[in-house]
Amino acid sequence: MDLNLSGRHALVCGASQGIGRAAAVELAELGADVTLFARSAETLQAVAASLPRKHAAQRHDWRSVDMQDTAGLQAIAAELVATHPVQILINNTGGPPGGPAYSAEPAAFESAFRQHLLAGQVLLQTVLPGMRDSGYGRLVNVISTSVKEPIPGLGVSNTVRAAVAAWAKTLSGELAADGITVNNVLPGYTRTARLDGLLAAQSQKSGRSEAELAKDMIAAVPARRFGEPGEVAAVIAFLCTPAAAYVNGVSIAVDGGRTKALS
């Protein structure tokens, strides 16, 4: 099985912590050069310095960028690919705040759409010429199991994730003949700052302890535990390898079996 990513350049968004950071580690383990995007420069610098180096030519880099700033994102990505074309793009960022759909401000939908879909579109358009030139491209979107079963209390997220899933499926058909695959990874409850934040918010609202809430969540997972960022990252990294060339247009849940949908 060919898992070698030496000589490939991966751009990993939302890479300062959590699933994005874990994905950067796995891609570097497979030999890729990795460039990290997120806002916190200091953290990114430390993560880049800590990434594995499996061969002498392998180099890692980072850029501080806000995915809400579509024009700034485009400029930074364009500067990056001018010297180092990207073949692997991990479209990942922070999740939108929780709450029902009916009461969400239109601005909340606008903001989530910009950060999740417009950012992905701008990045894809910037890296696409390099992918086409090398006959190798991998786009992996980190979204949510809500694209199979909407999650109560995450109205804006459910809506925007579905848009990203539809975008990805459309792209997968448009780009396959160029050697480019487009897939989605759907994390279940994964132990990151995002999960901690959701637990803290729910605890404050309900008056129940975070431990009690976590116990209830785990009871709904057949594996009876939360996932680890590295477990989601392993699937992301596999989708980026030559071995995964014929996996295209799919959404893979990494959720310990929680999602009940058949496909």
Q: Closest by alpha carbon to 228, among 254, 249, 252? A: 254
Take residue 197 and report the two structure tokens written for it: 């934040």
The answer to whether 245 contacts ligand NAP (rule: CB under 6 A) is no
Residues 6+ apart with CB under 8 A from 223: 256, 257
What element of type H or E holds 60? strand 60-64
Take residue 22 and report the two structure tokens written for it: 């874990």
Would you give the binding string for ligand NAP spanning residues 182-201, x where CB under 6 A is met? -----x-xx-xxxx------
- CB nearer to ligand NAP: give 39 or 84: 39
Q: Exposed, middle or buried by CB within 10 Å (0-12, 13-18, 19+), for 75? A: middle
> Interhelix angle for 119-134 vs 155-175, to 10°?
20
Q: How far is the CB of 242 from ligand NAP (least distance, A)?
A: 25
- CB nearer to ligand NAP: give 136 or 182: 182
Q: How far is the CB of 71 from ligand NAP (least distance, A)?
A: 14
Q: How far apart are alpha carbons 93 and 16 in whole angstroms?
A: 10
The answer to whether 210 contacts ligand NAP (rule: CB under 6 A) is no
Q: How far is the CB of 217 from ligand NAP (least distance, A)?
A: 9
> Interhelix angle for 18-29 vs 229-239, to 10°?
50
Q: How far is the CB of 194 from ligand NAP (least distance, A)?
A: 3
Torsion of CA 250, 256, 261, 263, to 10 degrees: 20
- Out of 5, 23, 28, 67, the residue judged to bind ligand NAP by CB under 6 A: 67
- Residues 7-36 close enough to bind ligand NAP by CB under 6 A: 14-20
- Residues 110-169 close enough to bind ligand NAP by CB under 6 A: 115, 142, 144
The answer to whether 90 contacts ligand NAP (rule: CB under 6 A) is no
Q: How far is the CB of 171 from ligand NAP (least distance, A)?
A: 18
Chain residues that interact with ligand NAP, rule: CB under 6 A: 14-20, 38-40, 43, 65-68, 92-95, 115, 142, 144, 187, 189-190, 192-195
